[in-house]
Amino acid sequence: MGEGVRLARGVVVGRLLAVAGVSGSVSALHVRVAAEAAGVSPRTVWNWLAAARAGRLERLSKPSFSLPDVWWAVLAEEGGNVSAVYRRMTEGEEEADFPVPSLETIQRSVKRDVWEGRVLEVASVGRGRVEAGRYDQVLAELKLERPGEGLAVVDADPGEPGAAVSAADDVAPSRAGVRLFVPGARLVSTGPVAAVVEVVGHTVAARGIGCVFGDAGLGKTVAVQQALHLLPSRVPVWRAVIGVKPGLPQIRASLLESCGLPAGSLAHRAGAAEAALAEVFRKPGVLFLDDAQRLSPPLLDYLRLLWDEPGTAAALVLCGAGAERVIAGAPALRSRVLTWHQMAGLEPDRLAETLRLFHEVWEGADPADVVWADSTVARGNFRTWAKITSHVYGLSKRRNNPAVDRSLVEQACARLGPYP
């Protein structure tokens, strides 16, 4: 068993036992949420609990150094920059009152504590949340925060928390079908992502129709996928793929496939297909259609008719650059949209700390260089920053000095051409 899994096991079992000590037992929902956090199956977590109650929980070796609480607060002030904290420990007016270990030791300590569940509160906190439900209560009891509410980093692969993508992987790191262009990259829960999570959660709870729109490359799809990933597993999510210039049979087939219905036999039988879809949408769930700007007004009206069926309890989330304009051309559907949300770009005042969390190559970079690249090239666009990070990563690996300076950032930006 790897060290990372032992750590996750000890933390998860400890928190479940703490919950059991307060309430007398743990529910299946507690176990499922804990399993998602550990990247294992619920059955595995139940086995861990049984072993712990039988006195067979593995003893984990206590590390020799752990960053004190007062310096965790400093780390949050520095936006997660461990190097800056180390400099303040050794060179600043507030030098540490204990023997300061090496920078590498502090970095390992911080990474270990974050993996064990300690929260580094540098991401924007969502505001105006609706009252927490049962799922939120379980998250709080297990001390597992939703992204945007304290947990700053969202791993590139949602299936394995804490898993990094190595340079030897054949497939480029991605999230929700969006390439991150660089090994080891992680998505960061920024304020705009947290806002989308809130909007989608409200739309699903209200069983309404929502539209997430904004310029290309801002991370709309990633944010919506993250919001859907955070829904309780009992809420079904149907993701329909929209082709280029689709017709009604193609849309009908895509909806049938996303709902697990036999598209081959129903796609050209309108009455039977609509009846089957209506039956699926009578239970609470959410249909997600990305690239909704590809839909023509007649197809949007087709969706409106499906949602006008008596008894429909599912939510509909439309997403895409320009989706709001095509929906405006379908007045009947437009009048039924509950929530409109325009995706914002990366927050300028938090950009440097966001990039440091996105990829370690930005650790130690001058914030002024980041501001220059954003004002001249990226302009808050997530996809553009992923490309810049890819080139910065490649260029730094070829230099004797891997430090990221202005000349390296300028060279990386120049590789994006006239249309970054």
pLDDT digits (tens, 9 = 90+) for 137-150: 554 555 444 433 33
Cβ atoms 371, 396 nearer than 8 A: no
How many other CB atoms are there within 10 angstroms of residue 391's CB atom? 19
Same-domain status, 298 and 231: yes
62-66, 68-72, 158-162, 181-185: least confidently modelled range: 158-162
Work out the average pLDDT over 225-252.
89
Q: With 70 as the cut, is the pLDDT of residue 124 above it?
A: no
Same-domain status, 326 and 385: no
Same-domain status, 39 and 73: no
How many other CB atoms are there within 10 angstroms of residue 287's CB atom? 24
Work out the average pLDDT over 81-109.
79
Cβ atoms 141, 113 nearer than 8 A: no
CA distance 204 to 365: 40
Among residues 308, 342, 376, the one where a domain terminates is 342
Say if 10 falls within a structural domain.
yes
Instruction: Give, as one character, the DSSP assignment of residue 168.
Output: T
Average pLDDT taken over every residue of the chain? 78
Cβ atoms 255, 240 nearer than 8 A: yes
Listed in sequence order, the residues at least 6 apart from 150 whose beta carbon sits closer than 8 Å to its beta carbon are 119, 121, 123, 125
| Domain interval for residue 110 | 69-116
Q: Regarding predicted confidence, which is higher, 378 or 17? A: 378
CA distance 331 to 298: 11
CA distance 7 to 1: 10
CA distance 365 to 362: 5
Residue given tokens 């970079």 in the structure block:
365
3-state helix, strand, coil in the chain (%, to 5): 50, 10, 40
Same-domain status, 232 and 306: yes
Same-domain status, 195 and 314: yes
Listed in sequence order, the residues at least 6 apart from 388 whose beta carbon sits closer than 8 Å to its beta carbon are 373, 377, 378, 409, 412, 413, 416
Tokens of 61: 């070796």
CA distance 47 to 9: 11
* 3 state SS of 72: helix
Query: Starting at the edge strand that comes first in sequence, how are the strands of the sheet with 237-240 ordered?
Result: 237-240, 286-289, 315-320, 209-213, 337-342
Same-domain status, 197 and 337: yes
1-10, 29-38, 310-319, 337-346: least confidently modelled range: 1-10
Q: With 70 as the cut, is the pLDDT of residue 31 above it?
A: yes
Q: Regarding predicted confidence, which is higher, 180 or 376? A: 376
Same-domain status, 93 and 211: no
pLDDT at 403: 81
Q: Regarding predicted confidence, which is higher, 357 or 177? A: 357
Q: With 90 as the cut, is the pLDDT of residue 56 above it?
A: no
Give the tens place of pLDDT for each residue, 149-175: 333 344 444 333 333 333 333 344 455
Whether this model's pTM surpasses 0.85: no
pLDDT at 75: 81
Say if 178 falls within a structural domain.
no
Same-domain status, 312 and 388: no
Say if 214 falls within a structural domain.
yes
Give the tens place of pLDDT for each residue, 294-352: 999 999 999 999 999 888 999 999 999 999 999 999 999 999 999 999 998 888 888 88
Same-domain status, 300 and 356: no
Give which of 280, 271, 200, 270 is closest to 238, Cα–Cα.
Answer: 280
Say if 331 falls within a structural domain.
yes
Same-domain status, 404 and 297: no
Same-domain status, 338 and 197: yes
Work out the average pLDDT over 200-228.
92
User: CA-CA distances (angstroms) from residue 150 to 71, 196, 288?
Assistant: 17, 16, 26
| H or E element that contains 69 | helix 69-77
Cβ atoms 289, 238 nearer than 8 A: no
Q: With 90 as the cut, is the pLDDT of residue 59 above it?
A: no
Residue given tokens 């190097």 in the structure block:
83
> Angle, to 10 degrees, between the axis of helix 28-38 and the axis of helix 3-23?
160
Say if 131 falls within a structural domain.
no
CA distance 187 to 353: 13
Work out the average pLDDT over 207-233.
90
Same-domain status, 233 and 289: yes
Q: Regarding predicted confidence, which is higher, 34 or 64? A: 34
Say if 230 falls within a structural domain.
yes
Domain count, the chain: 4
Instruction: Give, as one character, the DSSP assignment of residue 347.
Output: -
The share of the chain scoring above pLDDT 90, in percent, equals 30
Work out the average pLDDT over 35-60.
72
Q: With 50 as the cut, is the pLDDT of residue 182 above it?
A: yes
